[in-house]
């Protein structure tokens, strides 16, 4: 009882002291006003000289001050004084300063980096003339009219270019591999064939020489080279102009060099084109009836929209579908902005990151403002005293703004460094396999916009306590329940903001969890071939030297024989089909489906492979035999099918000895020879264009050596690409592989050697980058939410300092105090988690196209986020809880 009595005695003493202080202040104010009235009357009525001198000096001083204010010096002096005062205040509170600077740095840095990346891909104009007028043209399927499905055919392009009224110009181009020889070491480079008007269409210029003109389409073979190739291979020599270079064993005259910043990407190329060759009448694959595939780039007329141009080409195409038998049935036309087309495969990932970093920006704004709001809430009495002493609204807000700007300057500099580091890391990582034209640079506009957004939020939240003090004035000076109620109001308001942070953090964490689960699911799916010890290379066999299938077959036989003798190589195989992507399935006919319409036939992926291919790739033979050297054009046509095809199309029977026949889009019924199935191999997985999941497709493998001689490939008019597959038990010297190639053909370059693991990893880049970056954003929001929980819990403890001291004085245990604080943090976290889960349930549906193998409301993901968020909230509140439990009640009362 003596302790309680002492407590109440001290409380009554403090109350009497406060009452006496208010009465004394009021008496002093009244006395000052009376003296001023007496002095004013004395000065005006009696002409007191001393008062007049004082008035004169005061007027002179006022004039001087007014002059200084007119020039703005007074404001600058006040602001400089406020900055010094703000700096001193921040140094006295290093915990708040470091936390606020870290929050600002993370928010500004991450947002500036990601916004700069998104801006470089999606919003920064292409380095071409009037890029908003440029469009790309694709062919589509009837069931998906807004998605590319086929390349355009060259004979269709000729009709469009001659008849269209909606385009200022239409140009055609297509990717081409070239073996550059005769200029040092043979080298395989990326190139393209193009109509003569391509550069006029896109607005390209030459830094040396000239670009294509109409006469070049009727002249000798000619080319234009990139600035990079000019520097690297020809040392920027002007002598290259007018000279000939050898591409695929054919001479081309160099007409000009493109600028260093020129970039024209079509067909989702993950590289810059190094050489462009012009289409001439001598190109047998590009004539008036040629079905060779091309990409079409057009420049719209000034008053034409993409939809109008698409309608015009669609009307033409309906007639062309009847005129040419090689047209895809029921196909349409898609016209889309060139920049949008260039970012087709990365756009969804970038937009997802754009939304995620926007959420991070909101959290950073709320967190920064909440920190400043909490700090300034403790200064309510200070603000009220300033107001009572005559401080105006403008002056008080200027003081607070100076403090915020001091914090912001430090956080902004740190954020700038973080953004620069993140961009450097992204460029080095290059998760999409290619960077946007012009690269990724720190965007000053994005930096300023992000900084202003966070600054405005900080100034707004930071000014709330001062504005409240201006309204309350004398009431804010009372040290009674008025101040306690004000503190509770601030804690309640800040708790609302922290709950919002937690909810937004939950949304990002749920999204990151779903994407991480998707990536783990994709990674764990077996692909059906070896990933550890298989090397893949490619060769571009020029048709000038290897113009027939027999010549290509002889080369492959010799090369595979040499490669098996290379140290470390256990098996070697070749194929003319890339096995990792399946962009379309081929109709096929079995004995049971003879005579059925093409659209009703089953479909399968088709691959042309050499003997040794399955051993090199690690694909197991399950039944029958593999392909061998006896499978020739003169022997029985054979095929090997995958286990998936046997299961799907030969239910309840052995496929060995059965027959299949392949069909193509320009055939009403299959016309290819029947193939006898001689073996069944394990199924493999492939990925389709712009998809994330690796699917198992029915597959038919035919012999590379059994191809009959016929027309040259329509897909690669100047070369035949052959892919090499080497299974190596140990490290293989790339030089030894190149030596084996050059032992057969000294001028034939070999492409880069990669492992199947590297190739598959690159094809999985989209789900990986989404999962990794969103998980990073989720981690940042988790950190910011922890800062918010810790801050508001600490403020609650400080506001209830007296209450907690009395509880301890009355016998409360330390564990009870800690439990009280932790329960408060737990309630706050639960409100935020509940709101976040409700929002996440709706937002996760937007991620449906990014997910594979899991539900949009995956219980494990949602449950894991709840556990993590509660754990983080408890850890963040642990320090304030321990501080509260260590309070000395006598010290608390003495401070009061």
pLDDT digits (tens, 9 = 90+) for 471-513: 544 444 444 444 444 445 556 667 787 888 899 999 999 999 9
For 234-261, what is each residue's pLDDT tens digit?
999 999 999 999 998 889 999 999 999 8
Mean pLDDT of 603-613: 93
HEC sequence for 450-508: HHHHHHHHHHHHHHHHHHHHHHHHHHHHCCCHHHHHHHHHHHHHHHHHHHHHHHHHHHH
| 361 and 312 together in one domain | no
pTM of the model: 0.79
582 falls within a domain:
yes
Do 209 and 291 belong to one domain? yes
Could you tell me the pLDDT band of residue 652, with boundaries at 50, 70 and 90?
confident
Closest alpha carbon to 423 in 438, 405, 440:
440
Q: What is the 3-state secondary structure (H, E, C) of 163-216?
A: HCCCEEEEEEEEEEEEEEECCCCCEEEEEEEECCCHHHHHCCCCCEECCCCHHH
Residue 686 near residue 630 (C-beta atoms within 8 A): no
Q: Which residue has the tokens 């936390």?
A: 99
Max Cα-Cα span within the chain: 134
Distance CA 203, CA 385 (A): 68
Q: pLDDT confidence of 79, banded at 50, 70, 90?
A: low
Q: How many residues does the chain have?
A: 896
CA-nearest of 716, 869, 723 to 785 is: 869
Question: Residue 699: which domain range?
Answer: 546-744
SS3 call for 860: helix
For 545-586, write each residue's pLDDT tens digit: 888 888 999 999 999 999 988 888 999 999 998 899 887 788
Is residue 512, in this structure, part of any structural domain at all?
Answer: yes
Mean pLDDT of 262-288: 84
Q: Residue 684 and residue 575: Cα distance in Å, rounded?
A: 15
In this predicted structure, what is the pLDDT of residue 1? 46
Q: Are 113 and 427 in contact (CB under 8 A)?
A: no
Round to whole Å and give the CA distance between 183 and 62: 84
Q: Distance (Å, rounded) from C-alpha 509 to C-alpha 360?
A: 11
**For residues 727 and 616, is the Cβ–Cβ distance under 8 A?**
yes
pLDDT score at 586 = 86
Mean pLDDT of the chain: 81
User: For 656-681, what is the mean pLDDT?
Assistant: 83
Residue keyed to tokens 């080279």? 225
Helix, strand or coil, per DSSP, at residue 661:
strand
- Tell me the three state secondary structure of residue 237: coil
DSSP 145-162: TTS--BPEEHHHHHHHHH
Of 71, 86, 111, which marks where a domain is finished? 71
* Boundary-marking domain end, from 744, 775, 809: 744
Q: Does residue 374 share a domain with residue 270?
A: no
Residues 618 and 710 placed together within one structural domain of the fold: yes
Residue range 397-424: average pLDDT? 82
Structure tokens at 843: 């937002």
592 and 663 both lie in a single domain: yes
What pLDDT score does 896 carry? Answer: 55
For residue 89, being part of any structural domain is answered with no
* Number of compact structural domains in the chain: 4
| Residue 367 pLDDT class (50, 70, 90 cuts) | confident
CA atoms within 13 A on the CB side of 649: 28
Residue 56 pLDDT: 36
Separation CA 827–CA 833 (nearest Å): 10
Q: Assess if residue 200 is contained within a domain.
A: yes
pLDDT at 368 (0 to 100): 76
Among the listed residues 307, 306, 328, 308, the one whose alpha carbon sits nearest the alpha carbon of residue 317: 328
Which tokens is 345 given?
């495969």
Q: What is the mean pLDDT of residues 345-352?
A: 87
Predicted pLDDT at 380: 65
Q: What letter does residue 529 receive in the DSSP assignment?
A: S
CA separation for the pair 74, 97 (Å, rounded): 28
What is the rounded CA–CA span in Å between residue 817 and residue 888?
A: 13
CB 590 within 8 A of CB 575: no
Q: How far is CA 26 from the centre of its chain?
A: 64
Helix, strand, coil share of the chain (percent; to 5): 55, 15, 30
- For 143-180, the pLDDT digits (tens) are 788 888 888 899 999 999 999 999 999 999 998 889 89
pLDDT tens-place string over residues 737-767: 889 999 999 888 888 889 999 999 988 888 9
What is the model's pLDDT at position 70? Answer: 46
Residues 739, 769 share a domain = no
Q: What are phi and psi of 823, to 5 degrees?
A: -65, -40
- Give domain status of residue 752, yes or no: no
Please tell me whether residues 359 and 321 are part of one structural domain.
no
Residue 606 in domain: yes
Q: Average pLDDT in the 675-682 region?
A: 96
H or E segment and range at residue 724: strand 719-728
For residues 502 and 558, state if they share a domain. Answer: no
> Residue 257 has what pLDDT?
96
Do 779 and 731 lie in one domain? The reply is: no
List Cα–Cα distances, 255 to 199, 206, 711, 749, in angstroms: 13, 9, 31, 24
Same domain for 290 and 371, yes or no, is no
What confidence tens digit (pLDDT) does each residue in 697-743 have? 999 999 999 987 754 444 445 788 889 999 987 778 888 888 999 99
Residue 636 lies in a domain: yes
Contacts of 466 (CB under 8 A, 6+ apart): 376, 383, 396, 397, 400
pLDDT of 71 higher than 50: no
Query: pLDDT tens across 8-29, in order?
Result: 455 455 455 555 555 555 555 5
- Say yes or no: 810 and 725 in one domain: no
pLDDT average, residue stretch 323-328: 78
| Residue 598 sits in the same domain as residue 738 | yes
Note whether 553 and 707 are within 8 A (CB). Answer: yes
pLDDT of residue 229: 94
In a domain, 704, yes or no: yes
pLDDT of residue 90: 72
Q: Which of 21, 39, 71 is the last residue of a domain?
A: 71
Q: What is the CA radius of gyration of the chain?
A: 38
Q: Which residues contact 834 (CB under 8 A, 6 or more apart)?
A: none
Q: Between the CA of residue 729 and those of 561, 567, 568, 619, 732, what are the distances in Å?
A: 17, 9, 6, 16, 8
């Amino acid at each position: 009882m003596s302790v309680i009595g002492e407590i109440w005695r001290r409380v009554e003493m403090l109350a009497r002291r406060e009452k006496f202080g208010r009465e004394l202040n009021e008496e002093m104010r009244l006395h000052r006003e009376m003296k001023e009235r007496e002095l004013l009357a004395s000065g005006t009525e009696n002409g007191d000289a001393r008062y007049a001198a004082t008035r004169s000096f005061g007027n002179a001083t006022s004039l001087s001050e007014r002059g200084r204010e007119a020039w703005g010096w007074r404001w600058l002096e006040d602001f400089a004084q406020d900055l010094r005062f703000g700096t001193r205040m921040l140094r006295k509170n290093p915990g708040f300063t470091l936390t606020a600077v870290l929050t600002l740095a993370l928010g500004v840095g991450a947002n500036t980096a990601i916004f700069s990346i998104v801006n470089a891909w999606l919003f920064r104009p292409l380095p071409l003339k009037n890029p908003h007028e440029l469009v790309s043209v694709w062919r589509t399927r009837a069931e998906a009219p807004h998605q590319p499905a086929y390349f355009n055919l060259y004979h269709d392009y000729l009709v469009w270019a001659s008849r269209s009224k909606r385009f200022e110009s239409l140009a055609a181009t297509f990717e081409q591999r070239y073996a550059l020889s005769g200029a040092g070491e043979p080298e395989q480079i990326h190139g393209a064939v193009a109509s003569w008007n391509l550069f006029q269409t896109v607005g390209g210029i030459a830094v040396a020489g000239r670009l294509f003109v109409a006469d070049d389409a009727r002249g000798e073979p000619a080319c234009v080279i990139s600035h990079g190739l000019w520097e690297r291979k020809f040392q920027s020599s002007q002598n290259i102009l007018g000279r000939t270079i050898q591409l695929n064993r054919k001479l081309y005259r160099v007409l000009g060099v493109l600028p260093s910043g020129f970039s024209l990407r079509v067909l989702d190329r993950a590289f810059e084109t190094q050489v462009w060759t012009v289409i001439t009448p001598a190109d047998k694959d590009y004539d008036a009836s040629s079905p060779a595939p091309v990409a079409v780039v057009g420049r719209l007329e000034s008053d034409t929209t993409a939809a109008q141009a698409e309608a015009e080409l669609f009307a033409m195409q309906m007639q062309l579908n009847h005129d040419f038998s090689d047209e895809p049935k029921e196909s349409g036309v898609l016209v889309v902005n060139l920049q949008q087309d260039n970012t087709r495969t990365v756009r969804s990932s970038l937009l997802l990151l754009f939304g995620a970093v926007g959420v991070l920006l909101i959290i950073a704004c709320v967190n920064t403002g909440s920190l400043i709001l909490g700090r300034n809430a403790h200064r309510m009495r200070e603000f009220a005293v300033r107001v009572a002493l005559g401080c105006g609204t403008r002056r008080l807000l200027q003081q607070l703004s100076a403090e915020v700007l001091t914090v912001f300057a430090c956080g902004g500099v740190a954020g700038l460094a973080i953004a620069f580091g993140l961009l450097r890391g992204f460029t080095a990582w290059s998760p999409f396999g290619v960077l946007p034209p012009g690269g990724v640079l720190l965007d000053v506009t994005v930096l300023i916009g992000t900084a202003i957004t966070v600054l405005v939020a900080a100034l707004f939240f930071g000014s709330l306590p001062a504005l409240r003090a201006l309204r309350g004035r004398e009431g804010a000076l009372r040290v009674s329940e008025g101040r306690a109620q004000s503190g509770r109001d601030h804690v309640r308001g800040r708790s609302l903001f922290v709950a919002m942070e937690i909810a937004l953090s939950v949304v990002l964490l749920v999204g990151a969890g779903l994407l991480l689960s998707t990536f783990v699911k994709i990674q764990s799916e077996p692909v059906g071939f070896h990933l550890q010890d298989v090397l893949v290379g490619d060769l571009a066999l020029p048709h000038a030297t290897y113009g027939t299938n027999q010549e290509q077959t002889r080369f492959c036989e010799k090369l595979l024989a040499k490669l098996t003798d290379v140290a470390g190589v256990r098996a070697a195989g070749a194929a003319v089909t890339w096995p990792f992507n399946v962009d379309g399935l081929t109709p096929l006919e079995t004995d049971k489906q003879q005579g059925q319409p093409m659209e009703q036939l089953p479909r399968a992926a088709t691959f042309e492979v050499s003997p040794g291919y399955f051993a090199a790739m690690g694909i197991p033979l399950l039944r029958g035999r593999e392909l061998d050297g006896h499978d020739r054009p003169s022997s029985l046509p054979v095929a090997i099918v995958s286990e998936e095809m046997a299961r799907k199309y030969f239910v309840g029977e052995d496929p060995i000895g059965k027959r299949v026949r392949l069909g193509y889009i320009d055939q009403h019924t299959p016309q290819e020879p029947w193939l006898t199935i001689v073996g069944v191999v394990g199924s493999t997985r492939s990925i389709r264009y712009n998809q994330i999941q690796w699917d198992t497709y029915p597959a038919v493998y035919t012999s590379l050596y059994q191809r009959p001689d016929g027309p040259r490939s329509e897909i690669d008019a100047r070369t035949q690409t052959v892919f090499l597959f080497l299974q190596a038990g140990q490290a293989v010297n790339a030089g030894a592989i190149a030596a084996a190639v050059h032992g057969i053909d000294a001028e034939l370059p070999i492409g880069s050697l990669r492992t199947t693991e590297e190739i598959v990893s690159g094809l999985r880049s989209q789900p990986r980058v989404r999962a990794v970056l969103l998980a990073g954003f989720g981690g940042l929001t988790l950190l910011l939410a922890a800062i918010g929980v810790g801050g508001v819990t600490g403020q609650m403890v400080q506001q209830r300092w007296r209450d907690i001291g009395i509880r301890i004085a009355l016998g409360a245990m330390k564990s009870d105090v800690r439990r009280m604080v932790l329960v408060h943090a737990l309630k706050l976290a639960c409100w935020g988690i509940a709101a976040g889960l409700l929002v996440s349930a709706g937002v996760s549906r937007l991620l449906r196209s990014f997910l594979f193998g899991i539900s949009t409301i995956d219980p494990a993901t949602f449950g894991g986020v709840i556990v993590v968020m509660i754990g983080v909230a408890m850890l963040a509140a642990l320090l304030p809880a321990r501080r509260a439990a260590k309070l000395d009640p006598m010290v608390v009362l003495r401070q009061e």
